[in-house]
Chains A and B, each alone.
Chain A
Amino acid sequence: MPETPRHNAQTAQPAQNDRELTFAQAIREALAEEMRRDPTVCIMGEDVAEAGTPFKVLSGLLEEFGKQRVLDTPISEAGFTGLAVGAAMTGMRPVVDIMFGDFVTLTMDQMVNQAAKIHYMSGGKWKVPMVMRTTMGATRRSAAQHSQSLHAWFCHVPGLKVVLPSTPYDAKGLLKAAIRDQNPVVFFEDKMMYKLKGTVPADDYTVPLGVADIKRVGEDITLIATSSMVQVALGAATMLDEIGISAEVVDPRTMWPLDEKTLIESAKKTSRAIVLDEGYERYGVTAELASVIATGAFYDLDAPVKRMGAMHVPIPFSPPLEDVTVPTEQTVFEAARAMCGR
């Protein structure tokens, strides 16, 4: 793991150029800066140009960069993802936009059998520097085919990198790093976080892939959380604070490469860990992270590592049903309290 100083949300001092941006604005700024810096960066996807995506994340990019670099495609996820693989091999740095994370299923051959393997199969000769941006996250009342968090699928494939930003600051820095990376990177944005505001420097900065961030320092229990679950964990930590439990919140930021060291160190310090992720709990990201901690911090743990992910059901439409499928501040608070014996 590279020894890079990490951005610590607790200790970082606001700089002069910091502004409040939404998560969506941070994504857009990262893309615009990289497109200005590197003429080979281009965006392709459904309704990315004039529409700027249904989430308006890309608004304004067409006006600045034109139709040659912001390309509306047909509804052909496999087609334009495959095209991006070939373009990445031959001198471009495409960023493909898969509107809903559920649609990644349509790109699987292009990502799993092509993009992920080309560097290895060619003995290191061809590279595939592309980014797939897509969304994740339930509770938007969008039902089973527009609500899944399928990032674990990509984590399972050697050759891919997988990024799950949780703040506007991280979103900008990680996306810029992903675009500059020499490998295929899958970048998951929780669509419920697009309006989340946070401090983002106007400067050119990157957040290196493979460096976790401690979002809140604590002593009694570690909450390892990804993407929107970081906000849930922070909310739960505030609730825990009120009953005298000090929770540390650690955000791995990238699922692969994975900063195992920071996860293990935090668990060793607090002796208790809960892993939170919005993907399916069964065979999911939480299983891998829990295993890393259970193995690395075994002698320091006071309790088995607990996992909290999505229920093993297709995401239902009806609000009361949907809301119980994913961890909430309340359920995390209760689980943490029980683990601490309160």
Chain B
Amino acid sequence: MTTAAQPREAPEKVGLWLRMYRQMAAIRQFEAQVDELYTRALMPGLAHLYIGEEAVAVGVCEALERTDYITSTHRGHGHCLAKGASPDRMFAELLGKKAGYCKGKGGSMHIADPATGNLGANAIVCGSAGIATGAAFSARCLGTGQVSVCFFGEGALGQGVLYEEMNLAQLFKLPVIYVCENNLYTEYTHYSETTAGDILMRATAFGLEAASVDGQDVLAVNGMAQRFVDRARHGDGPSFLLCNTYRYHGHHVGDINREYYRSKQEELKWKTERDPIANFGKWLIEQKLADVAALERVQAELESEMKRAVDFAVAAPYPTVDEVGEDVYA
């Protein structure tokens, strides 16, 4: 694995690296439980799993403060967890329970949490570009020093509002980072069939600082994210981070037979050669920052944590029907 950082350069970063490993593993285990809940018919509706893309959410969110803002997507569990949401209340939300982050009113695609700066996941593709840009506008107007990150998939590149927001962000010099997760497939169609020209040039045309990184390498993502966050915090304006990644599962949990749009060989190649967690674990061991047993311990701890969180959510009560009309107006 090639990485953007070397341990000898910054020994104080070891804690951060181990935390990033844990966070990525937590997302994967969370999502595995979601898949299980769907399969066992315990979860209403569908969910869009983030498995395979963990290094993007973790690499970016580890460059942020708790008070910084993020907006997320329909494939948003990873962003929420990476920003600090707790699995039990997330599972509760996924099951439509009162104890969920949104009292069960939002579900998988709308988890929001002011306590961790999460402005909300959004089920309209590119629906949160305005919100993230507006949060950066507030930070600038109020002088809070916060930055704002807008996560979106490459499918959002087709939405005109993204370019309106990048134009506004650059005109107003706003502290916002647009993080494009290119997992290659906009639902069931390869992105090359829907995306003309060059992705980064779409951002640089507006004068944004833009870079492309290996989205399977958490240190590469984190390094570039940190650079862009620092820039934004110092008033140097918006930037665009393209993370090249891969979605291991289907568009959603019900998208099982995928061979009409991509081959099993392709999926296998990414899983075996480019897995962000396995490769980062290997690197940690090579650098003697962790051993196999320590990483296995992390996995085991997470496994029991996720099981407890699922049990909490399954046992939690639904909202009562008289709550249906609450929270329409503030």
Residues in A whose Cβ lies below 8 Å from that of B112? 118, 121-123, 125-126
Determine if B327 and A79 form an interchain contact, defined as CB atoms under 8 angstroms apart. no
The contact of A89 among B105, B119, B164, by CB within 8 Å, is B119
The contact of A120 among B71, B127, B327, by CB within 8 Å, is B327
Interface stretch among B58-66, B128-136, B300-308? B128-136
Give the docked Cα–Cα distance between A129 and B120 (Å): 16
Determine if A83 and B141 form an interchain contact, defined as CB atoms under 8 angstroms apart. no
**A134 contacts partner chain B, Cβ-Cβ < 8 Å:** no
Give the docked Cα–Cα distance between A42 and B137 (Å): 11
Determine if A122 and B106 form an interchain contact, defined as CB atoms under 8 angstroms apart. yes
Chain A, 64-102, CB within 8 A of any chain B CB: 68, 71, 73-74, 76, 78-92, 94
Q: Which residue in chain B gives the minimum CB-CB distance to A159?
A: B328
Interface stretch among A45-53, A107-115, A139-147, A214-222? A107-115
Give the docked Cα–Cα distance between A271 and B142 (Å): 55
Determine if B102 and A86 form an interchain contact, defined as CB atoms under 8 angstroms apart. no
Determine if B120 and A121 form an interchain contact, defined as CB atoms under 8 angstroms apart. yes
* Distance in Å: Cβ of A71 to nearest Cβ of chain B: 8
Determine if B164 and A125 form an interchain contact, defined as CB atoms under 8 angstroms apart. no
Q: Which of under 10, 10 to 19, 20 to 34, or 35 or more describes the interface residues of B?
A: 35 or more
The contact of A73 among B128, B130, B168, by CB within 8 Å, is B168
Determine if A124 and B134 form an interchain contact, defined as CB atoms under 8 angstroms apart. no
- A90-B139, A109-B127 are known contacts. Are A82 and B133 too (CB-CB below 8 A)? yes
Determine if B134 and A87 form an interchain contact, defined as CB atoms under 8 angstroms apart. yes
Determine if A89 and B130 form an interchain contact, defined as CB atoms under 8 angstroms apart. no
> Looking at B100, B131, B161, which has the most chain A CB atoms within 10 Å of its CB?
B131
**A266 contacts partner chain B, Cβ-Cβ < 8 Å:** no
Determine if A122 and B102 form an interchain contact, defined as CB atoms under 8 angstroms apart. yes
The contact of B130 among A68, A74, A114, A122, by CB within 8 Å, is A114
Q: Which residue in chain B gives the minimum CB-CB distance to A89?
A: B119
**B330 contacts partner chain A, Cβ-Cβ < 8 Å:** yes
Residues in B whose Cβ lies below 8 Å from that of A85? 130-131, 134
Residues in B whose Cβ lies below 8 Å from that of A158? 328
Q: Which residue in chain A gives the minimum CB-CB distance to B324?
A: A120
**B160 contacts partner chain A, Cβ-Cβ < 8 Å:** yes
- A83-B133, A109-B124, A109-B127 are known contacts. Are A123 and B171 too (CB-CB below 8 A)? no
Determine if B104 and A123 form an interchain contact, defined as CB atoms under 8 angstroms apart. yes
Q: Which residue in chain B gives the minimum CB-CB distance to A90?
A: B138
**B167 contacts partner chain A, Cβ-Cβ < 8 Å:** yes
Residues in B whose Cβ lies below 8 Å from that of A121? 102, 105-106, 110, 112, 120
Give the docked Cα–Cα distance between A81 and B131 (Å): 9
Q: Which residue in chain A gives the minimum CB-CB distance to B166?
A: A79
* Distance in Å: Cβ of A214 to nearest Cβ of chain B: 26
- A82-B133, A120-B105, A125-B102 are known contacts. Are A159 and B329 too (CB-CB below 8 A)? yes
**A8 contacts partner chain B, Cβ-Cβ < 8 Å:** no
**A183 contacts partner chain B, Cβ-Cβ < 8 Å:** yes
- A76-B164, A82-B129 are known contacts. Are A119 and B328 too (CB-CB below 8 A)? yes
- A79-B161, A82-B130, A114-B131 are known contacts. Are A123 and B168 too (CB-CB below 8 A)? no
The contact of B133 among A86, A159, A183, by CB within 8 Å, is A86
**A331 contacts partner chain B, Cβ-Cβ < 8 Å:** no
Determine if B167 and A84 form an interchain contact, defined as CB atoms under 8 angstroms apart. no
18 example contacts (A-B, Cβ-Cβ < 8 A) are as follows A40-B141, A74-B164, A74-B171, A78-B130, A79-B165, A83-B137, A84-B130, A86-B130, A86-B148, A88-B134, A90-B138, A94-B134, A114-B128, A120-B105, A121-B120, A122-B105, A123-B101, A123-B103
| Extra 9 A-B pairs, beta carbons < 8 Å, given A90-B134, A122-B101, A125-B101 | A80-B168, A82-B133, A85-B134, A86-B71, A86-B119, A113-B124, A119-B329, A123-B105, A158-B328
Interface residues of A (CB under 8 A from B): 40, 42, 68, 71, 73-74, 76, 78-92, 94, 109-110, 113-114, 118-129, 158-159, 161, 182-183
